[in-house]
C-alpha cells in the first residue's frame, strides 16, 4: 500500500516524472505538491494492493506513507452500523449478549445431551464442542472426528439449538459445515490464510478466534480474508494472548481488545474467558468484565464432570456453576442494556 510518496526537493524532474508515470500506469490519479524541501506525491484512489516497495526503491524517493488501513471490508469506516450474524435462529450482534457454552471436546452422546439441555434451560443460546481438536501435543486426545460430528448433530437437532464447532483444514470444511451452524477457526489457525479463504466460501457463519500471538491488526486482516471471499457473517473472539506472565493464568485476557475492536470494526466481538484465563474460578469475573467492556457475548466451557474431561477440565464450569454464572450476568446485562 502506498498513499503518499515523499521525494527530495533535489530530485530531478526526470525522477519525479518516473514516479508520476508509474502511478498513472497503475491506474491512479496523481497530486503533486512541490515544497522548499520536499516534493509530495499523492495517489488518489484505493491503494490497497499497491506495493510500496517499488516506490521506495526509486531514485529521489525518501519515504512512502500509508494512510489507508490494510483492511477495508471489516472496518467501521466502510460500514458504520453493527453487523448481525445469524447462527440458526440466534442473532449475534446488536443488543443481544449471546452465551455459547459446552464442553471443550465432544466425548459421548448421553452426557452431552444432558449438559446441553441444562445449558439451554439456563439461557445458553449456542452449543459448543470440538470434534476436531487442535492440540499442542500430538499425543493428546484430538477429538472424536466424524463420530463427534454425528453426536453434535444428534444433540442439536433434538434440542433445536445451533452448534459451533472447529474446522482445522480446508479439506474438512464441507464435512464440518454439513453439521455445524457456525464454523470455528481456532487460535492456532488464525494465520492459516487458505483455511480462512475456504470458510469465506462456505456460506456458513464463522467464529474467528484471535491467535495467542496475534496483534489486533493481524486479527482484523484475518477477518478481512473471510469477508473478501464474500462471507460477511464473522464473529471475532478474544481468547487471551501470550504474555510474559503465565504464573497465575494460562493466557492474558485482553479486554481492551474488545473496546478497540468495537471501534475498529462493525463485526460482533465475543470473549472466551475459559481459554482466556485457563481457570474455572476466573470465568465469572472475566465474563462480567467482558459484558461491561461491550462484548456481544461469551463462549465458555462447561462439563458435567470437569475432573474427568478429555481436555480443558480445569477451565470448564460445572453445570451448576454455569447456572450461577447466568444468574449473575442477568442483572448486569440489564444495566448494560443488553438482552441475555
- To ligand PEP, the closest distance from the beta carbon of 239 in angstroms equals 4
Q: Which does 186 bind (CB under 5 to 8 A by kind): Mn ion, ligand PEP, none?
A: ligand PEP
Which residues, 257 to 296, sit near ligand PEP by CB under 6 A? 275
Choice from 254, 272, 312, 323 touching Mn ion (CB under 5 A): 312
Which residues, 172 to 201, sit near ligand PEP by CB under 6 A? 186-188
Choice from 104, 149, 257, 325 touching Mn ion (CB under 5 A): 104
- To ligand PEP, the closest distance from the beta carbon of 308 in angstroms equals 18
Comparison of 181 and 301: residue with beta carbon closer to Mn ion? 301
- Asked if residue 130 binds ligand PEP (CB under 6 A), the reply is yes
What stretches of the chain adopt beta strand conformation (E)? 4-8, 29-34, 38-44, 61-65, 85-87, 90-92, 98-102, 126-128, 163-166, 182-185, 206-209, 234-238, 269-271, 297-301
Instruction: Give ∠ CA 263-264-265 in degrees, rounded to 5.
Output: 100
Report the candidate in 167, 164, 225, 230 with the shortest Cα–Cα distance to residue 191: 225
**Distance between CA atoms of 241 and 238, rounded to whole angstroms?**
8
- Asked if residue 104 binds ligand PEP (CB under 6 A), the reply is yes
158, 120 Cβ separation under 8 angstroms: no
91, 85 Cβ separation under 8 angstroms: yes
The count of other CB atoms within 10 Å of the CB of residue 86 is 14
Instruction: Give ∠ CA 264-270-276 in degrees, rounded to 5.
Output: 110
122, 315 Cβ separation under 8 angstroms: no
Q: Which does 273 bind (CB under 5 to 8 A by kind): ligand PEP, Mn ion, none?
A: none
**Distance between CA atoms of 70 and 80, rounded to whole angstroms?**
18
How many positions of this chain bind ligand PEP (CB under 6 A)? 10
Q: How far is CA 234 from the centre of its chain?
A: 7
**Distance between CA atoms of 292 and 333, rounded to whole angstroms?**
8
Comparison of 28 and 322: residue with beta carbon closer to ligand PEP? 322
Given the rule CB under 5 A, which of 46-54, 77-85, 103-111, 284-292 is the region that contacts Mn ion?
Answer: 103-111
The β-bridge relationship of strands 206-209 and 234-238 is parallel
Report the candidate in 340, 245, 323, 328 with the shortest Cα–Cα distance to residue 285: 328
- To Mn ion, the closest distance from the beta carbon of 240 in angstroms equals 11
For the window 230-259, what string marks contact with ligand PEP as x by the rule CB under 6 A? ---------x--------------------
Q: Which does 187 bind (CB under 5 to 8 A by kind): Mn ion, ligand PEP, none?
A: ligand PEP
Given the rule CB under 5 A, which of 21-29, 147-155, 186-194, 312-320 is the region that contacts Mn ion?
Answer: 312-320
- To Mn ion, the closest distance from the beta carbon of 102 in angstroms equals 10
Q: Which residue is nearest to ligand PEP (CB)?
A: 186
- To ligand PEP, the closest distance from the beta carbon of 246 in angstroms equals 14
Comparison of 209 and 232: residue with beta carbon closer to ligand PEP? 209
- Asked if residue 309 binds Mn ion (CB under 5 A), the reply is no
The count of other CB atoms within 10 Å of the CB of residue 65 is 13
Comparison of 198 and 209: residue with beta carbon closer to ligand PEP? 209
11, 60 Cβ separation under 8 angstroms: yes
- Asked if residue 102 binds ligand PEP (CB under 6 A), the reply is no
- Asked if residue 164 binds Mn ion (CB under 5 A), the reply is no
- Asked if residue 306 binds ligand PEP (CB under 6 A), the reply is no
Nearby residues of 199 by Cβ (< 8 Å), 6 or more positions away: 167, 173, 183, 185, 206, 226, 231
- Asked if residue 209 binds ligand PEP (CB under 6 A), the reply is yes
Q: Which residues bind Mn ion (CB under 5 A)?
A: 104, 312
Q: Which residues bind ligand PEP (CB under 6 A)?
A: 104, 130, 134, 166, 186-188, 209, 239, 275
Amino acid at each position: 500500500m502506498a498513499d503518499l510518496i515523499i521525494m527530495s526537493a533535489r530530485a530531478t524532474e526526470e525522477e519525479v516524472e518516473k514516479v508520476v508515470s508509474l502511478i498513472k500506469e497503475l491506474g491512479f490519479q496523481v497530486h503533486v505538491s512541490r515544497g522548499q524541501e520536499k516534493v509530495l506525491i499523492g495517489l488518489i484512489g484505493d491503494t490497497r494492493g499497491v506495493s510500496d516497495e517499488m516506490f521506495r526503491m526509486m531514485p529521489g524517493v525518501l519515504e512512502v506513507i500509508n494512510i489507508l488501513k490494510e483492511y477495508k471490508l471489516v472496518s467501521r469506516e466502510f460500514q458504520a452500523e453493527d453487523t448481525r450474524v445469524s447462527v440458526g435462529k440466534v442473532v449475534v450482534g446488536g443488543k443481544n449478549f449471546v452465551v455459547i457454552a459446552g464442553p471443550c471436546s465432544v466425548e459421548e452422546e448421553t452426557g452431552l445431551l444432558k449438559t446441553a439441555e441444562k445449558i439451554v434451560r439456563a439461557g445458553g443460546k449456542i452449543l459448543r464442542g470440538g470434534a476436531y481438536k487442535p492440540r499442542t501435543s500430538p499425543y493428546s486426545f484430538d477429538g472424536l472426528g466424524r463420530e463427534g460430528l454425528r453426536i453434535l448433530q444428534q444433540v442439536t437437532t433434538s434440542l433445536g439449538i445451533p452448534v459451533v464447532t472447529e474446522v482445522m483444514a480446508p479439506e474438512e470444511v464441507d464435512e464440518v459445515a454439513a453439521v455445524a451452524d457456525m464454523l470455528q477457526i481456532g487460535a492456532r489457525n488464525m494465520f492459516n490464510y487458505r483455511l480462512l479463504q475456504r470458510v469465506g466460501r462456505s456460506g456458513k457463519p464463522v467464529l474467528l478466534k484471535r491467535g495467542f500471538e496475534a496483534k489486533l491488526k493481524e486479527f482484523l486482516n484475518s477477518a478481512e480474508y473471510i469477508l473478501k471471499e464474500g462471507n460477511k457473517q464473522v464473529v471475532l473472539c478474544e481468547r487471551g494472548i501470550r504474555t510474559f506472565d503465565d504464573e497465575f493464568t494460562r493466557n492474558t485476557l485482553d479486554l481492551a481488545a474488545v473496546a478497540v475492536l468495537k471501534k475498529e470494526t462493525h463485526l460482533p466481538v465475543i470473549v472466551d474467558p475459559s481459554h482466556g484465563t485457563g481457570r474455572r474460578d476466573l470465568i465469572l469475573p472475566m465474563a462480567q468484565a467482558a459484558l461491561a467492556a461491550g462484548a456481544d457475548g461469551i463462549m465458555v466451557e462447561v462439563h458435567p464432570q470437569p475432573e474427568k474431561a478429555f481436555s480443558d477440565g480445569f477451565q470448564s464450569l460445572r453445570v451448576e456453576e454455569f447456572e450461577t454464572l447466568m444468574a449473575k450476568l442477568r442483572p448486569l446485562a440489564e444495566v448494560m442494556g443488553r438482552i441475555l
